Structures are given as structure tokens and as C-alpha cells.
Amino acid sequence: MAQPPFAHLARTIRERVAAQGFMQLMGADLSALEPGGATISVARRPDLLQQHGFFHGGVTAFLVDNGTTIAAATRLREGQACLTAEYKLNLLAPARGERLVCRARVVRAGRRMSVVAADVFSVQDGRETQTAIALATIAVVDADGLPPAGSRPGEVPEDMDPDRPGP
């Protein structure tokens, strides 16, 4: 399987990310995409904060989860897809500020799994403060084995339905 030209791959990744309902719900922005790297961020909103006024830890976890998977996707070959297998997240400081930014970079891209590191920063008055660091394992899978992008939640393609009687 050959690796597609990056411009084509980047366009496909951006289309798929834009179609993610959770990205829209979070108001997240994919601001940078390059071979082996991705940057996503969210602006401060009251509904993304915890009781002390900091970004909720779940927002940081979301940025790490999506950012590392998007970065891993930049190293995929034709016919492959990727899914988060696990991540270890260390929260280093309260995430305060106007924006929370995650920069993810592929450490090692493998045939069946990739390892991706991520750094998360809060931005206040143009100054960045690191608030988290993470290391993720991203599974590389056969794209044919996944529901089509854009399928509705709970909708299982007929040929993938485990309850469907055999031929």
C-alpha cells in the first residue's frame, strides 16, 4: 500500500475531522496539519470549565485523544484508518486562559500501531503555559472494517452487522 500525496491525505483528514459531531460540540479547531503532526484547540467557554473556572480535565483529554489520532492519520497509507487504543495523560498545571491548544507529533509510525506524543498549553495574553503532556498508542486498522465516515450513530452497515444471518 502506497502512501497518498500529503495534500490529498490532508484534505481527507480535514473533511473527516469537520464531520465529527464531537469536534463541533466542543467548538474545536484543527489549526495545523503536517506529516506527523497536528494542532487542535478550543476557545474558553463557560460550558467547558470546571467549578473553579479552569478548563475541565475532560477537555484536555478530548484534545489529546483527537489530536494524537489526527497526527497518526497523517502517516497512514491508502486503505488504512486509525483509532485510539490508549493514552497516558499527565495534568501539569490548571488549564486557565483564553484558549487550550494541543500539539501532537508522531514519535513512531508502525504498520499496526503508532506512538504519538502531545503537549497541551493554555494561552493567556499571547503567552503559553504547558498544562499537560501525554503519550498515546494509536491502532492502525483496515479502513474497510469500519463503518463509513458520516454514518449515523448506531447505524451498522448490513455487511458488518454481527446479528445478520450468514449467507
Cross-strand partners of 117: 105, 135
Query: What's the distance, Cα to Cα, between the start and end of the chain in Å?
Result: 30
Collect all residues with Cβ–Cβ distance below 8 Å to 76 and sequence separation of at least 6.
3, 9, 82, 140
Quick check: is 25 in a domain? yes
Q: What angle is formed at CA 64 by the lines to CA 58 and CA 67, rounded to 5 degrees?
A: 130
pLDDT of amino acid 165? 62
Quick check: is 13 in a domain? yes
Q: Per residue of the chain (167 residues), what is the pLDDT tens digit?
A: 555 589 999 999 999 999 999 999 999 999 999 999 999 999 999 999 999 999 999 999 999 999 999 999 999 998 999 999 999 999 999 999 999 999 999 999 999 999 999 999 999 999 999 999 999 999 999 988 888 766 665 555 555 555 656 55
pLDDT of amino acid 5? 81
pLDDT of amino acid 152? 60
- How far is Cα 132 from Cα 145, in angstroms, rounded to an integer? 33
Quick check: is 136 in a domain? yes
Identify the domain containing residue 51 by its residue range. 6-160
pLDDT of amino acid 27? 96
pLDDT of amino acid 146? 81
pLDDT of amino acid 150? 62
Specify the number of domains making up the chain: 1
Quick check: is 167 in a domain? no
Quick check: is 57 in a domain? yes
For the domain that residue 82 is a member of, what is the CATH number? 3.10.129.10
pLDDT of amino acid 4? 58
Quick check: is 153 in a domain? yes
Quick check: is 106 in a domain? yes
pLDDT of amino acid 164? 56
The burial class, CB within 10 Å (0-12 / 13-18 / 19+), for 84 is: middle
Quick check: is 166 in a domain? no
Following DSSP, what letter does each residue of 12-74 receive, concatenated?
Answer: HHHHHHHT-HHHHHHT-EEEEEETTEEEEEEE--GGGB-TTSSBPHHHHHHHHHHHHHHHHHT
